[in-house]
Every structure is written in C-alpha cells, then in structure tokens.
Amino acid sequence: MPPRKRSSLPAWQELKRHHREMSGVHMRELFKEDPGRAKNFSLETDDVYVDFSRHRITSRTLDLLVALAGETDIEGAVTQMYDGACVNRTEQCPALHTALRLPERRRLVIEGRDIPSEVRRELERMENFVSTLRAGKLTGWTGKPIDTLVNIGIGGSDLGPRLVTEALEHYRAQAPGVHFVANVDADEIESVLRVSSPETTLFAVSSKSFATRETLRNAATAGKWLVERGCRDVSKHFIALTANPAAAVEFGIGNEHIFKFWEWVGGRYSVWSVIGLPVAASIGMVNFREFLGGAHRMDEHFKSQPLRRNLPVILGLLDIWNLNFFKAAALAVIPYARSLKLLPDYIGQLMMESNGKSLTLAGAKVGYETSAVVWGGTGTNVQHAFLQLLHQGTRLIPVDFLAPLSGRDGEEEHHRLLLANCIAQSRALMAGNADSGKEKIPRYRVVAGNKPSTTILFRKLTPRVLGALLALYEHRTFVQGHLWGINPFDQWGVELGKTLAVGIADDLAGTQTIGDYDASTAELIRRYRESGGEGE
C-alpha cells in the first residue's frame, strides 16, 4: 500500500491553515512577544549551536511540523536506513553511509555480511597506505619519495574530499601536496601537471563507477604525461578509489593500489569512505578518524533525540515550511569562514542531486515543490554581491549562516569584524529597518525584514565539528526527501546528458553527416566543425 500523498496528511492540511495565520505576522512581533525566543528556538550539541528563532514560526508551527514528521513515521524511516534496508529502491540497495563511521564495537550484518568488519578492513588498508605515503616511504619509478597526490574525480568523488581537505588546511602536517582535478576542461589538469614532478606524483583515480568519462579522460592524460616524461612503471603512480575494482584492474591499477567502497555508498555521501583518502593524506588518519567520529555523534543524535529536539528533523521541517508553505524557491548557504568556501557547492550537490526529483516513491507526480535551488558564497564577500536581492528583492530566500566563534590566533580584530557582519546580516534580514527609530526613511531605503535565516555556530572548525556539520546536512537532506515522499539516493536525471554527450562528441570529431538532432544542436556542432575545432 503506497504511503498517503504527503499533502493530504492531516498535519499538512492544518499547516496550510496555520500558514494563512502566519502570513501577516512579522518576526519582530514574535521576538517582542517572547523575550526567551532565542532560547526557545535553538538547539545545541557538543559540536554545534543552531539558532532557528529567525524563522516565521511559533511553538504551534513546530508542533504541527513535528506532527507531520510523526505522521510520515520519520523515526521508522531512520531506523530502516541505519539498519541497511533497501531504501534506494530504484537502484535496489541500502544507503549506509552511516556504517562508514560506526565505532569499532558496533555490529551490523546484512545478507550475512559483517559490514563494520568490511569497513574496518578497508579503512585499515587506507591507513597503512597513507602512513607509508606521509612517511615518505612510497616511491615513484625513479625511487624518489612521492610528495604530491593528485585526486582525479568529479561530483561526490571530488566535492567532499576537496571541501574537507581545504576546510582543514590548518591541520595539514608532514603531508604531500594534495591537488584536485575534476573538470574535463584540459585547463584544469594542465594547471596541476605544470606544478608537479612526474617522478614524485601519485594520481588517485576516484570514481565509484570507474566509468565517468571526464575522470577516465583525465586519468588517461595523467598516464600519457608520465610516459612522455620517461616513466617506465606507471603503476607506481596510480591508485584507485572505487566501488568497481574490476574496472580499475582493467585500467592497469594493481590490486594493492585499489581501495574499495560499496554500492550502498552514494557518491555524494562517500567522503567518509576511501574517497576520503586525499583528506587523510593531508591531515593524517588520527584527524580523519576524528572527522568520522564527529559524524557518528550526529548520527547518534539523529537516531536518539526526540523529534522536537532533533536537529536534522527540525532543520528539514523548516525547509518544508519555507519551501512548501511560504513558497521560497532557494536556500542560500553562507559560511562566514573562508575555509568553508566550498561548502555551498558541496551542499548543493547533496541536496539538489538527492531531492531534485518530481516523482514519489510510488511513482506518482509529487504535486508540490521539492528541493530548493541551493547556492551561496562566503561572508563577508556575498554582502558585496547578492545580499541586496535577499534584503530588498521580491523573493523569499532563507539563509543558512555558519560561523566559528574563534578565529585565527592573534587575529581577534579580524574575527570580531567577520562575526559582527554575520550576526548583523541575520538581524537585518529578520528585523529590517522599519523600527530603527530614526526619522522616516525614504521608501527606497526601507528593508522590510521578515526574511528567515538559521545561524549555526561552533567553537572552532575541527575535524570533529566538520564531520558533525556534514552529517547534519546529510540527515537534513534525508528528512526533506522523506517528508516529500521521494527517493533521495538515486540520480537518474543525470544519465541523459551523459549519454547524449557521447554521440555529440563523436559528431564533433567526425566529418560524416551530422546526426539527427534539433536544428540548434546541429548548428552548434556545425560551427565547431567549421572553426576547425583546435586552438588557434
């Protein structure tokens, strides 16, 4: 029996009525009515403090949202996911990224397989390899120690490791240089090869499928670069991080250089697996395990906390409230921390590739909006870019502000200015300037306020805090998908473009009659051919 359409549930209907009541309420009034609002609408764990008081909600709103979560049996869904049920129905597999960060003692057997033991074994293989690499004992074809690791991967095989390596840059020690190549635009791999030595560079081909054309193209170019510079044992300069070891062997990578993960790890949920090897190479395994530990603590929070005190549940419910009732179309993610500049891109793939769907699990059209358009940038830079639209534009765009309470040692003045701007922006979005008390301001200067935002604070960006933050967003994404009744773990929408690109690439390269396309595609192909196709 397929689940009832979410929008027909009693709590959803009640929320529609409640939304009409709330539409005319300004958050300024809510703060005036309840001096304890910040305390009553915030939650914290050992790692993060989350202030969601600047949303257009009352206690009744939360009661109704929590009732909606209860009517969809969110708790049952969490248990199913954690226990390895086949939650990714179209790909017939579990979604067990939480198993990648289980502590040693936990047991989880699926179809006779002891999952934590398999995870532990592969993590130990990765640990041994990373220790050898970081000790300068891994040598290239001329016997020189490897001092550079180039990760070749895209999407979840790039965004996660790139974000975490960059965010934890100040934890780097005794480490090889780590670079990332994702785009098939040759400019990207050229920019890395130009600063690398063929004798001391190791390429990590990171690809769950080991079939992504951009990644294989870049890997082939890396191999050619080595051979052209005299390398007589290319196998010493490649490792594979993949769920398809057979394809890696066929590519020419030896088993001892293949680090595996599993079908039940989605690409955008894979940084916790061997896909995180570049992170461990940069910050060491002790810090990488801290990163896993922070995520596990959030997993425990998600599984154990009552809905009203459950961070991923509350944040996911607020997304539903803003997107499905206030008709917001986007979510801006704005970290006030340069080290988190890739976080908006990472969360963009996580949320939009998970929940950019329009069919329910039962195969019916959803009948309501699903994922927001997720983008962002770092504060304070975005204050000089797109914040104008959020303050005085015609759209309602909720914001996630994230900031560390402590900055770089000895730079308190910088950090106070950074944090002051973060807090000022969320206040301005909420309160506007109508009650600034000054003389009447001209209309073009009015900032209406009543724009929702969440502020997430943490003491310092440590591996554990970052692990907790990314797990928080993973589970929030799961809550969204569950509440929309969709499958957040597949991504069939990306297949068509990949398939079309194969034929178009052949047509661009060929001289035969251009294939049967629409007039625009045909003309674009013709113009490439006419241009001669190569650089001037």
List residues near ligand F6P by CB under 6 A. 154-157, 207-209, 212, 215, 267-268, 353, 491, 494
CB-nearer residue toward ligand F6P: 417 or 494: 494
Residue 321 identity: W
Q: Which residue has the tokens 């840059």?
A: 169
* 327 tagged catalytic: no
Q: Minimum Å distance from CB 212 to ligand F6P? A: 3
* 357 tagged catalytic: no
Q: Minimum Å distance from CB 373 to ligand F6P? A: 17
| Cα 350 to Cα 366: distance, rounded to the nearest angstrom | 20
Catalytic residue among 29, 44, 498, 523, which?
Answer: 498
Closest-approach residue to ligand F6P (CB): 267
Q: Minimum Å distance from CB 217 to ligand F6P? A: 12
Catalytic residue among 228, 365, 384, 536, which?
Answer: 384
Question: Angle 512-513-515 (CA atoms, 0-180°, nearest 5)?
Answer: 115
Q: Minimum Å distance from CB 494 to ligand F6P? A: 4
Catalytic residue among 260, 353, 357, 391, which?
Answer: 353
CA atoms within 13 A on the CB side of 158: 19
CB-nearer residue toward ligand F6P: 6 or 208: 208
Q: Phi and psi of 513, rounded to 5°?
A: -55, 135
Give the CA-trace dihedral at 496, 498, 501, 505, to 10 degrees. -150
Provide the greatest CA pair distance for the chain: 78
Q: Within a 10 A sphere around the Cβ of 352, how many other Cβ atoms?
A: 20
Are 15 and 325 spatial neighbours (Cβ–Cβ below 8 Å)? yes
Q: Which residue has the tokens 């009832």?
A: 4
CB-nearer residue toward ligand F6P: 84 or 161: 161
Are 86 and 77 spatial neighbours (Cβ–Cβ below 8 Å)? no
CB-nearer residue toward ligand F6P: 176 or 348: 348
Strands (E), 162-278: 177-181, 201-206, 238-242, 258-260
Q: Within a 10 A sphere around the Cβ of 436, how many other Cβ atoms?
A: 12
Q: In the chain, what is the straight-line distance between the N-terminal and C-terminal CA atoms, in Å?
A: 62
Q: Minimum Å distance from CB 478 to ligand F6P? A: 16
* 415 tagged catalytic: no
CB-nearer residue toward ligand F6P: 61 or 215: 215
Q: Minimum Å distance from CB 261 to ligand F6P? A: 10
CB-nearer residue toward ligand F6P: 207 or 450: 207
Q: Phi and psi of 331, rounded to 5°?
A: -135, 125
| Cα 444 to Cα 344: distance, rounded to the nearest angstrom | 31
- What is the helix (H) or strand (E) element at residue 109, kind and residue range? strand 109-110
CB-nearer residue toward ligand F6P: 6 or 257: 257
Structural tokens at position 343: 């976080």
Residue 276 identity: G
Q: Minimum Å distance from CB 159 to ligand F6P? A: 8
Structural tokens at position 96: 């067990």
Q: Within a 10 A sphere around the Cβ of 85, how many other Cβ atoms?
A: 16
Catalytic residues: 353, 384, 498
